[in-house]
Amino acid sequence: MNFREIVNIGGAFESVIDWLVDNMSWFFKGISTAISALLDGTTAALNFPPWFVMAIALTALAWWVAGRGVAIFTALGFFIIWYMGLWTLTMSTLGLVIASVIIALLIGIPVGIWASKKNVVWNVVRPVLDFMQTLPAFVYLIPAVLFFRLGPVPGVVATLIFSLPPAVRLTNLGIRQVPKEIKEAARSFGSTSRQILFKAELPVALATIMAGVNQTIMLALSMVVIAGMIGAGGLGNEVLRGITQLRIDLGFEGGIAIVILAIFLDRVTQALGNIAQKKR
Amino acid sequence: MAIIEVNDLYKIFGPNPKRAIPLTKQGMTKAEILKRTGCTVAINDATFSIEKQETFVVMGLSGSGKSTFIRCLNRLIPPTQGDILVDGENVATMDAERLRELRRYKMSMVFQHFGLLPHRNVLGNVEFGLEISGMEKSQRREKAQRAIELVGLDGYEESRTSELSGGMQQRVGLARALANDPEILLMDEAFSALDPLIRTQLQDELLELQAKMHKTVVFITHDLDEALKLGDRIAILGPDGRVRQIGTPEEILSRPADEYVKAFVQNVDRTKVITAGSAGGHVPSIIYPRDGVEAAIRVMERNNYSTVFVTDASRVLKGLITIDDAVSLRKAERQGAGKENIATILHDNVYTTLATTSISDLLTAAIKTNYPIAIVDEEGVFHGAVSRAAIIAEVSKSSDNSAVPVQLREINGSDHSREDE
């Protein structure tokens, strides 16, 4: 019997997971139901209008937020996606991204605020974030599958865990960077902690927080593709099919659609961040 | 009446700060205490009171704890020990709710680097304090608008604060503080970040506003000239966080309490601080038309003056009579020219000044005229005079002796005296 068998790190992790699967299934079932509902909602909303209506709407959004150049790119890009016959898959990928990002921000921003207020919290949260970001993305897939089976729900779970860290980090950073005198000024006029947060800190930190949102979205998009391996659906499936069947054409088309979606999301969210910055 | 009373106030930063208090009482220096306990003494046993409606300036170099001090007044920094009574209520021990009320309604603060909210326009910044206290929108708009007009920012309501110059930004800070009409205004190096010209301008405006509003102002500065200009009274903080002297600008200049204060005030231009009222004083005058030429001569002879001021029955200044004119008038009278009126010899080319005018501003007039300069108030009522000699004496007192010009004869003369020995 060697040492490796006595202290078995991987084995210990496995037994923890086993225990969770055996005893906490009600918990995971609840989460699963909630995520499914959110996901169905977003995907249905994206697929409800005919493709050209949706494409026009997204182009209008790009124009309004990011200007003419991005709008032209958006119109052209979404036309190509439709032309390649990937419209529905792209929308379900976008749905996965939106659902994951909503949950990631709902968790990440409050945690970031909390961490910015209490050094203890930040000292605990930081190594967890490091762990989440450096662990290879594929590794998330295994427990996600064990807890949530196959399908889009574990895809969302793996994605939100992978994309959560920048939202926490940049919210924390943004609030910590608010000049001391602004916080003092808010306090000196008799603000409660809540008033300081909502009337001074969050608005001043908004640009930094938006940079975090942008990164979260980009990470989510990259993870959603990987999540195709566990049946999350969308463009990930297409790329995976290209790899497994050695179909270069399928893989390339799927890849192009992902790139177009990525550039659209990046430019639009960055422009939102710039608007927040300019308001200062 | 005192509105703020500070009793035995200590603020010590660091681990277990109360431990350091007995050490300060033993007379240990800041450095020794830091070495021994790891604590930094910021305020060391401060006791004083601030009167209603006065401008109280706390002056000290950086590191003297003056910013800490002003933050203790509204408890942005909680004091380590001691009481701060505002209208008899102890800020140091009041609960959070009461403290918020104090900050909302009684005390407002103006910050060195303005502390404005970059995401709000000027109006949004000025109404911030009112918004925090829960005032409804239309009412706070109106109040904010009034504060904006008070500081001369009308027309800039919709501007972003980042588009404004430093001086304008601090006006926004001042308007924000004035908007909720506090009794007490805390100003933490409010003008220190501005360039000198703008700083002077804002100082003047603060004085003007203060003449109208009569707030209690606690003003922190490291600039002695600013302290002397604005302060009704000044507290000088030493580098050890101890209050070295409290007094009016003139007291501090003419009777510095210790070597530290003395070194501090040495380089001040006294002529800018000594006023006509303090250099001059009451002088006898005669009343026209009640008094005649005999009365005028008698007053001059008794006081050994060559001139006498003439006022009307309600003491409004009419002019001045010289001894020469008075004597020749009397001679003409005695030679039978009949009762002469002193109005014929009344000089009205007399310079007048307010009591608050500084000596340096009187110097030009003192050189031009041969008469004393009359001190009157805004209504023209005569209060006294300042003689040319007094003005020149004050100016020469404040000049640096090493740079005083010396006559050539004096230099040669001293050589001769050496030969004589």
Residue B200 maps to a domain: yes
Out of A179, A189, A279, name the one closest to residue B128 (CB).
A189
Please answer whether residues B326 and B300 qualify as being in contact, where contact means their C-beta atoms are separated by less than 8 angstroms: yes
Q: Looking at the predicted structure, is the pLDDT value of residue B269 above 80?
A: no
End of a domain among B250, B268, B286?
Answer: B268
pLDDT, tens digit (0-9, with 9 covering 90-100), for B353-373: 888 888 878 888 888 888 888
What element of type H or E holds B5?
A: strand B2-13
Domain membership flag for residue B172: yes
**Predicted confidence (pLDDT) at residue B281 exceeds the cutoff of 80:** no
Mean pLDDT of the region A227-237? 83
Same domain, B261 and B281: no
Query: Nearest CA of chain B to the CA of A280: how many Å?
Result: 4
Instruction: Residue A206: list chain B partners with CB under 8 A.
Output: 119
Q: Is A184 on the interface with B (CB under 8 A)?
A: yes
Amino acid in the structure at residue A136 = P
Beta bridge partners of B185: B108, B217
Can you tell me the distance from the alpha carbon of A173 to that of A194, in angstroms, rounded to the nearest whole number? 19
> Is A193 touching B (CB cutoff 8 A)?
no
Q: What is the pLDDT of residues A123-165, one digit of tens each?
A: 999 999 998 888 887 887 887 888 888 888 888 888 888 899 9
| Predicted local confidence at residue B395, as pLDDT | 74
Q: How close is the nearest chain B Cα to the Cα of A108, in Å? A: 23
Domain match, B109 and B22 both: yes
Pairwise CB contact (< 8 Å): B76 & A184: yes
Residue A279: pLDDT band by 50, 70, 90 thresholds?
low
B128 in contact with A, Cβ within 8 Å: yes
How wide is the angle at C-alpha B361 spanned by C-alphas B360 and B365, nearest 5°?
Answer: 110
For residues B232 and B127, membership in a common domain is answered with yes
Is there a single domain that holds both residue B264 and residue B281? no
| Cβ pair B132:A186 closer than 8 A | yes
Residues B247 and B168 in one domain: yes
Determine contact, residues B234/B246, Cβ cutoff 8 Å: yes
Nearest to B111 among A181, A200, A279 (CB): A181
- B315, B382 Cβ separation under 8 angstroms: yes
- The whole-angstrom separation of Cα A157 and Cα A161 is 6
Residue B409 forms part of a structural domain = no
Q: Which of B381, B304, B363 is nearest to B373 (CA)?
A: B363
**Antiparallel, parallel or unpaired: β B382-386 and B184-188:** unpaired
Task: Give the residue from chain B lying closest to A179, CA to CA.
Answer: B115
Contact A188 B133 (CB under 8 A): no
Q: How far is A212 from chain B, CA to nearest CA, in Å?
A: 19
Domains of chain A with bracketed CATH = 27-278 (1.10.3720.10)
Under an 8 A CB cutoff, do B111 and A185 touch? yes
Residue A191 contacts B where some CB pair is shorter than 8 Å = yes
pLDDT at B370: 82
Q: Does the residue B404 lie in any domain?
A: no
Q: Contact at 8 Å (CB) between B94 and A152?
A: no
Ordered alpha helix ranges (H), A193-279 = 193-195, 202-226, 235-244, 248-278
Asked, for residue B403, whether it belongs to a domain, the answer is: no
| Domains held by chain B: number | 2
Mean pLDDT on A187-196:
92
Distance CA A179, CA B164 (A): 18
Task: Give the three-state DSSP class for B305.
Answer: coil
Q: Are residues B150 and B204 in the same domain?
A: yes
- B413 lies in a domain? no
Q: B138-168 burial, b for 16+ CB within 10 Å, e for fewer? A: eebbebbbebbebbebeebbeebbeebebbb
Q: Max CA-CA distance within chain B?
A: 95
Q: Model confidence over B117-172: pLDDT tens digits? A: 988 999 999 999 999 998 899 999 999 999 999 888 888 988 988 889 888 999 99
List chain B residues with CB under 8 Å of A181: 111-115
Nearest by CB to B104, which of A184, A190, A199?
A190
Beta bridge partners of A176: none
Give which of B77, B86, B111, B126 to mutate to test A binding, by max A Cβ within 10 Å.
B111
Categorize the per-residue pLDDT at B270 as very low, low, confident or very high, splitting at 50, 70 and 90: low
Pull the structure tokens for residue B66: 């003056």
Q: How far apart are the first and last CA of chain B?
A: 66
What pLDDT, in 10s, does the model give residues A3-26?
666 778 888 888 888 888 788 888
pLDDT (mean) for B301-308: 84
Contact B179, B126 (CB under 8 A): yes
Domain boundary among B233, B268, B303: B268
**Are residues B127 and B203 both part of a single domain?**
yes
- Residues above pLDDT 90, as percent of chain B: 25
pLDDT reported for residue A131: 87
User: Using the beta-carbon criterion (under 8 Å), do B104 and A200 form an inter-chain contact?
Assistant: no
Phi, psi of B400 (to 5 degrees): -75, 120
Q: Are residues B222 and B308 in the same domain?
A: no
Report whether B59 contacts B224 (CB < 8 A): yes
Q: Which long-range contacts (CB under 8 A, 24 or more apart) does B294-298 make?
A: B294/B330, B296/B321, B296/B326, B296/B342, B297/B323, B297/B326, B297/B327, B297/B330
Residue B56: in which H helix or E strand, if any?
Answer: strand B55-59
Domain that includes residue B370, residue range: 277-398
Q: What is the CATH number of the domain that holds B392?
A: 3.10.580.10
- Please, what is the average pLDDT of chain B? 84
Q: Give the 3-state secondary structure of residue A104.
A: helix
One domain, residues B354 and B232: no
Residues B344 and B293 both lie in one domain = yes
| A36, A41, A155, A233 from A99: Cα distances, Å | 9, 9, 11, 14
Chain A: closest CA distance from residue B170 (Å): 13
| pLDDT of the residue at B420 | 43
Which three-class secondary structure state does DSSP give residue B368? helix
For residue B410, tell me if it sits in a domain.
no
- The answer to whether residue A238 scores a pLDDT higher than 80 is yes
Asked whether residue B78 falls in the same domain as residue B140, the answer is yes
Measured between beta carbons, which residues in chain A are less than 8 angstroms from residue B180?
189
Q: What is the pLDDT of residue A249?
A: 87
Residues 6+ apart with CB under 8 A from B266: none
Q: Is residue B67 part of a domain?
A: yes
Q: Of B268, B291, B323, which residue is a domain's last? A: B268
How many Å separate Cα B106 from the centre of its chain? Answer: 23
pLDDT higher than 90, residue A177: yes
Same domain for B167 and B190? yes
DSSP string, A28-73: HHHHHHHHHHHHHHHHHHHHSS-HHHHHHHHHHHHHHHH-HHHHHH
Predicted ipTM beyond 0.95: no
* Distance, CA of A186 to CA of A199 (rounded, Å): 8
Give the strand pairing for B81-86 and B2-13: antiparallel
Residue B400 structure tokens: 């640096």
Judging contacts by C-beta atoms under 8 Å, the chain B residues touching residue A185 are: 109, 111, 115-117
Contact residues on chain B for A195, CB-CB shorter than 8 A: 132
Q: Which CATH number is B153's domain given?
A: 3.40.50.300
Mark yes or no for CB contact B180/A189 under 8 Å: yes
Residue from the list B109, B119, B162 with its beta carbon closest to the beta carbon of A203: B119
